[in-house]
Structure 1
Amino acid sequence: MRHFFLKFSILFFSSIPMHSQTQDTLVDIGGYKMHFTIMRGVGTPILFEAGAGNDGSVWNNILEKIHKVTGTTLITYDRSGFGKSELNPNLKNESDFGIVNGIKELEIGLSKLGFDNEIILVPHSYGGFYTTLYASRHPDKVKYVVRIDANLVEVYTDDVLKIMDQEEAPPKSPETLGIYYLVKNYPETVKVLRKIDFPSNVPVIDMISPINRGYPDEYWALIKKAHKDFVNAESNRVELIAEGSGHYIFHDNPALVINAIIKAYSKTLDKEQQNELLQKALDNAMALSIEAKKNNRSEQDLNALGYSFLGNEELDKALEVFKVTTILFPDSFNAYDSYGEALLKSNRKAEAIEMYKRSIELNPENENGKKILMQLKQE
């Protein structure tokens, strides 16, 4: 029984302190410096784009866990005027500090660091604008995008921009210049993005929070429609609803975000490497799920992982996951129901019947289980 919205594997990870070798560096962009943090590895690097008011450190809680499984290079950075990054002292006009300038700075920084080839992008919020623009400039280099409640330009209609224009701008001080220029240039950023189409060849996981953050109903409906339209525009785009999570999904449900990124990264590997990565992730998920049994999401995560293997006809892996789930959650009728389904697909009818019986004992209102059990007994 599928009590979840996930369309791909979700593994569960508990909190692990960061300990991988990390390079903290300032890169000269042309008389001023931008701050990058790099967790080096082997494979297609992953670049994280923070939201409007954040610098690269906002991602720190998930990086080590992603690196542990993928072993690839992870890159975070501070946009100019944020965190440890400086602003270009040669720019004089407020309009010069727009998103096009920001993307050019990023491109220079990545090139100097040697990461100007294939890449995976992970944006949050305003970072969605950056990755859209970057992907449009490098459609053959961007191998995957995992959007985390990330901006879509269709949300910013002329009426919305008028409302934003009436709001008071942030103070203009040396400490707030980054956010000041971002807000001042927001209408122009929207105009730039309206002329750009997200590359159709780049696969996307569009992860969204279902929680309205105080928006008027009409605007909230516009946001949801924009995401639906974006996903439905191409067959290589997948919607993922982060149930129970607010805007900062990677804080509210880090396991979900971590494993969506692992899923995207796996698509850059050959079949043998994919199997090795998934087995490593599975082993890690099993051990950490035992430690984190009290976390309500751990059962959901394992259940979703089992169904992912089931959908891919990897029955042995699916059976292993569902069996562990019944051991970890012996009072869950859903765990036994799912295990029964997998056993049935594996032609292990007698064992499947026992699982469905146990599921119904735990939840006499499990109508789906009753129906299947009746059918099995009549065969």
Structure 2
Amino acid sequence: MSRTTPHRRSVNRALSALALLALAAGTVTACSDSHAADSTHSASPASPASPGAARAGGAELRMIDNGGHRLAFHVTQGNASTIVLDSGGGEDSSYWNDLVPKLHAATGATVVTYDRAGLGKSDVVPGPWKVESAVSDLESGLRQLGVTKNVTLVSHSQAGEIATYFAKENEKMLSGAILVDANLPPLFTDEQITRLVAFSQPQVDAAKKDPDNPQNRQLISTSESFVETNKAFHKATWPHAVPATVIVSEKTPFDGSPEDAQRWRDAAATFVHDGPHRTLVTAKGSSHDVPKDRPDLVLKEIESMVAAQR
């Protein structure tokens, strides 16, 4: 298992904080912009992006064009159901490398990971982070891969924001979602947004000294749209038709701040209470890095969700 350096941990904590808010703000605009970019470019679902485009574990690299920028999708081919793994702030698709072969073996499903814009092999998109653009990238990528139904979406941290808007726009595509210590709308009150901005400001200031670093670049771009985005995200709703399992870490992203940690747990409980077909699971002993700390639990919950929809 890979180790995270102290600097990277601080950046990831700040990204987690900012990411939580970003989900809420993007809900309003995600719906209007995602389809426009999707219709601009297309690719044959059967053809690889380039010769020899493969990686360890049998995944095929597919480069998808959306609105003039290219995104890297990694596909481990399986049966008609699909599991999509979306990593948290500052992480690319390699975050899931250990889990992909286990998921594929356990479920037989096609497993898809991808690099969001500016991370991994995907192109950088300048300017503030926009959740509607992230939704468009994921939606367009899946459709160009020929994935239109029976999708289980697994979203960690900041990806919870993307998942919320994606689910609202693509109810028929999703059979369920696993939200892994994810940003959820109830957290992002005006008071909590103010606290999160203050919490992350030292990391943002440090990131600006090395803006070409991919993690720093994402942190800076997220901070530029954070307040507006998260005010909107707080009003976002999860569609009742899409089942969701919420895994909340015991330590939360705010380990060391009992008040913020409790608000994180309360937001998860509120989200689950506010709709049908939702389940709350606590990852005992885990930090915010649940997929690394408790891969057994994440695997179990994904397996259960996939099995329930067959």
TM-score bracket, shorter-length normalisation:
0.7 to 0.9
Residue equivalent to 2:140: 108
Report if the CA contact (8 A) 1:19-1:64 is conserved: no
**1:195 equivalenced with 2:232 (yes/no):** no
Which has more radius of gyration?
1
Cα distance in structure 2, aligned partners of 1:23 and 1:107: 19
User: Is the aligned partner of 1:151 residue 2:183?
Assistant: yes
Letter in 2 for 1:127: A
Q: Name the structure with the higher strand share.
A: 2
Specify the code of the residue in structure 2 equivalent to 1:117.
Answer: K
Give 1:19 deviation, angstroms.
Answer: 6.2
Paired position in structure 2 for 1:72: 109
* Equivalent residue in structure 2 for 1:236, among 264, 270, 277: 277
1:194: Cα distance to partner? 2.5
Residue 59 of structure 1: how far off its partner (Å):
0.9
Amino acid at match of 2:234: R
User: Aligned to 2:162, what secondary structure does the other structure show?
Assistant: helix
2:264 is aligned, of 202, 223, 234, to: 223
Choose the corresponding residue for 2:305, options 257, 264, 272.
264
Do 2:151 and 2:173's aligned partners in 1 also have CA atoms closer than 8 Å? yes
What residue is the counterpart of 2:37 in the other structure?
none
Find the residue that maps to 2:97 and give its secondary structure: helix
Aligned match of 2:213 in 171, 175, 194? Answer: 175
- Given the alignment, which residue of 139, 154, 159 partners 1:122? 154
Instruction: Find 1:184's aligned residue among 224, 229, 234.
Output: 224
Going from structure 1 to structure 2, the CA distance change for 1:165 and 1:255 (only over 3 Å counts) comes to closer
SS at match of 2:109: coil
CA distance in 2, matches of 1:135, 1:257: 20
Contact 1:70 1:265 in 2 (8 A): yes
Q: How has the CA–CA distance of structure 1 residues 241 and 165 changed in structure 2, closer, same or farther, with 3 Å as cutoff?
A: closer
Q: Deviations over 1:241-265 (max 9, x none)?
A: 1112221122112111111101100
Choose the corresponding residue for 1:52, options 89, 92, 110. Answer: 89
Distance in 2 between the 1:113 and 1:36 partners? 9
1:26 corresponds to 2:66: no
Write the letter of the residue equivalent to 1:190. N
SS of residue in 1 equivalent to 2:247: strand
Matched AA of 1:26? M
Higher mean C-alpha displacement, 204-213 vs 161-170: 161-170
RMSD: 2.0
Further displaced range: 185-194 or 146-155: 185-194
Q: Letter of the aligned partner of 1:141 in structure 2?
A: M
Query: Is residue 205 from structure 1 mapped to residue 245 from structure 2 by the alignment?
Result: yes
Q: Give 1:173 shift.
A: 2.8
**Secondary structure class of the residue paired with 2:141:** helix
Displacement of 1:160 in angstroms is 2.6
**8 Å CA contact retained: 2:188, 2:234:** no
Deviation of the 1:31 alpha carbon: 2.7
Structure-2 change in CA distance of 1:239 and 1:42 (3 Å)? same
Aligned residue in 2 for 1:281: none
Q: 1:26 offset after TM fit, Å?
A: 1.8
The alpha-carbon deviation at position 147 of structure 1 amounts to: 1.2
Shift in Å at residue 240 of structure 1? 0.9
TM-score norm. by structure 2 comes to 0.74
Identity among equivalent positions (%) equals: 27
SS in 2 for 1:129: helix
Per-residue deviation, 1:69: 1.7
- How much has 1:216 moved relative to structure 2? 2.6
In structure 2, relative to structure 1, the CA distance for the partners of 1:219 and 1:130 (3 Å cut) is same
**Residue identity in the other structure for 2:242:** V
Q: Is the 8 A contact 1:81 1:179 kept in 2?
A: no
- For 2:293, give the aligned amino acid: D
Residue 174 and residue 209 in structure 1: after superposition, are their counterparts in 2 closer, same or farther (change >3 A)?
same
The 2-side partners of 1:259 and 1:224 are apart by 21
Structure 1: segments with no counterpart, 5+ residues: 1-17, 270-379
1:215 Cα deviation from its structure 2 partner: 4.3
Structure 1's 211 and 66: CA in aligned 2 closer, same or farther, altered over 3 A? same
Q: Answer 1 or 2: higher relative contact order, Cα 8 Å, separation at least 6.
A: 2
Change (3 A) 1:235 1:116: closer
Deviations 1:307-339 (A, max 9, x none): xxxxxxxxxxxxxxxxxxxxxxxxxxxxxxxxx
DSSP 3-state at the match of 2:98: helix
**Residue equivalent to 1:325:** none
